[in-house]
Amino acid sequence: MNSSLDSLNRWVDDVARLTRPDRIHWCDGSDAEADILRRRMVERGELIELNPDSHPGCTLHRSHPDDVARVEHLTFVCTREEADAGPNNHWMAPDAAHAKMDALFDGCMRGRTLYVVPYCMGPIDSPLSRCGVEITDSPYVVLNMRLMTRMGSAALARIEREGRFVRGLHSTGELDPERRFIMHFPEELTIKSYGSGYGGNALLGKKCHALRIASFQARQEGWLAEHMLIVGIQNPEGRTHYVAAAFPSACGKTNLAMLIPPERYARAGWKVWTVGDDICWMTPGPDGRLWAINPEAGFFGVAPGTSARTNPNALAMLDRDAIFTNVAVDAENRPWWDGLPGAPVTDWKGNPAAGDAPAAHPNSRFTVSARQCPSWSPHAEDPQGVPISAIVFGGRRASLVPLVFEAFDWSHGVLVGAAMASETTAAATGAVGVLRRDPMAMKPFCGYHFGDYWAHWLGFERPGAELPRIFHVNWFRKGEDGRFLWPGFGENMRVLEWMVRRIEGSADAVDSPIGRLPAAEALDTAGTGVDPATLDALLEVDPAAWEAEFRDIEAFFADYAPRVPERLHARLAHLREGAAAAAAATTTT
């Protein structure tokens, strides 16, 4: 027997002895297999078929009310040395973590089926892809993994050829919040998750493998695993530049990934192509550029707020062959959430919809194949990936941060990403404007110490490298009246145009203490209602306020001492000096 499959079979046998399932099923990823699982779940009431005329092939799953989101406080990175996990992660010693999890798994699959789910993160024939196997007792997980990964026989064949894979063991357990943990063992390429059926905790190919484990792998192997969308911007001349972009929650990430250009741009020949909406794996190519794949094959998106106004491309792909989780249902047995027309009759718990509570859970989801997206890129499955021309960081800031600026160089760009921050919203936290640093939007997902992670980023600047330009955007700056200054949504195309023109050397910029800003008239605002005074406010840089921001960044870095690279400290000190000089000059003037 092939040694890798022999190892896999031994592991499956070991898990079966521990969990004691009634039966074992090796998933092949076929349509027939999915149809059988779906039919059985409908018969047991675990899935609800939706209107076959309006939403053929669509089903609804209702989670346990105590199991509707990721549980970051119960998520651990288990490295041998606590310092290697870093202050950005909860840590537990590997031996203690294995013992805790194995005690939970003991006998947990009695009366259930153990599913063996071989999967590939990334195009099945791409050298940038990595494989894994998830063992689970949840058919809901199997159906979702089939949409979110390249799952089944082809992945198993690749595992047989390569001889390596990430091992993930999952059980819904009793869905008891007191017995719920997600453990990552990056040095062992192993994940153990117990007590949750929610996607982010149970679909182990997603955040667990594709970010926490993969980021650790990437550092060892010389690539990057990032919480970034990938989008292609095609200009009227027919050239496509691919952009990777990182945003914390509530900052328009999915909307940007599926952006539809304004009519004026579409008529001129601009197009936007979606490669991915959540995760990006980048590796240096022989030409010195970073080449990227989307390791996922589907979208696991937040439903509320997805509408014909905010994201028509996303809405267009949800009328067939989708799994909905914790949405409401209208009178025609169609999925419903805030942002859709009509009214709900049944809420996400299966009760009559009431006006005093959200009918769809705020974190309700849809799972759908990426191929159904109208803007899905014809190059999304290219084995070599797509070349990245720009990396964009962004956050939600009501003041201080301009609409867009460009980093002076790679090390400055790494600093911009390491220091990125976003203000919370009342809907999410009960308090408006609380600033939270979220480096590269990876705070919940980096599988090792942030200081080492930033050093790894800096290490890509080497002779022969043709690195992407780095930008920062802020769609959410407000005026004195508290209203947003920038229209956002499709109009963000105008900022992307400036980036593309910068990449091609045809757009001007002016230096400021924090980076390069669009020069006068370099940003097209025609037809947006943004007048020159508003544009000035959008691009304003207040040196005195930035002095305070740089001090706050310095204090943030102190939490990660002594592993913060000296180059970041030096770059930050240089920016502080520049801001101080500019502030002094302004005061003198």
State the pLDDT at residue 428.
42
Q: Which fold has domain 226-296+379-581?
A: Phosphoenolpyruvate Carboxykinase; domain 3 (3.90.228)
* Both tokens assigned to 365: 């989801």
Superfamily of domain 3-46+71-221: Phosphoenolpyruvate Carboxykinase, domain 1 (3.40.449.10)
pLDDT at residue 434 tops 90? no
- Distance from the first to the final alpha carbon of the chain: 80
Q: What confidence tens digit (pLDDT) does each residue in 239-297 have?
A: 999 999 999 887 889 899 999 999 999 999 999 999 999 999 999 999 999 999 999 99
Contacts of residue 172, Cβ cutoff 8 Å, sequence gap at least 6: 137, 138, 195, 196, 197, 202
**Which of 27, 78, 131, 251 is the catalytic position?**
251
Confidence of residue 354 (pLDDT cuts 50, 70, 90): confident
* Residue 250, pLDDT score: 74
Please give the pLDDT value at position 430.
Answer: 46
Q: Partners of 48 in the beta sheet?
A: 60
Confidence check: pLDDT of 429 > 50: no
Per-residue pLDDT averaged across 509-523, rounded? 96
Binding residues for GTP: 250-255, 365, 396, 489-492
Whole-angstrom Cα distance, residue 160 to residue 49?
37
Q: What is the mean pLDDT of residues 370-386?
A: 98
Where in the chain are all domains bearing CATH 3.90.228.20?
Answer: 226-296+379-581
Confidence category of residue 589, pLDDT binned at 50, 70, 90: low
pLDDT band at 162 (very low <50, low <70, confident <90, very high): very high
Give residue-wise pLDDT tens across range 384-399: 999 999 999 999 999 9
List, as residue ranges, the binding site.
Answer: 70, 198-200, 207, 227, 249-255, 278, 363-365, 396, 489-492
Q: Give the percent of the chain with pLDDT over 90.
A: 92
Average pLDDT value for the chain: 95
CATH architecture observed for domain 298-372: Beta Complex (2.170)
78 tagged catalytic: no
Give the residue-averaged pLDDT of 29-55. Answer: 98
Contact indicator for 273, 379 with CB cutoff of 8 Å: yes
Domain with CATH 3.40.449.10 in the chain: 3-46+71-221
Ranges of CATH 2.170.8.10 domains, the chain: 298-372
Percent of the chain residues past pLDDT 70, beyond the cut: 98
User: Confidence class of residue 370 from pLDDT cuts 50, 70 and 90?
Assistant: very high
Where is 230: in which H helix or E strand? strand 229-234
pLDDT at 252: 84
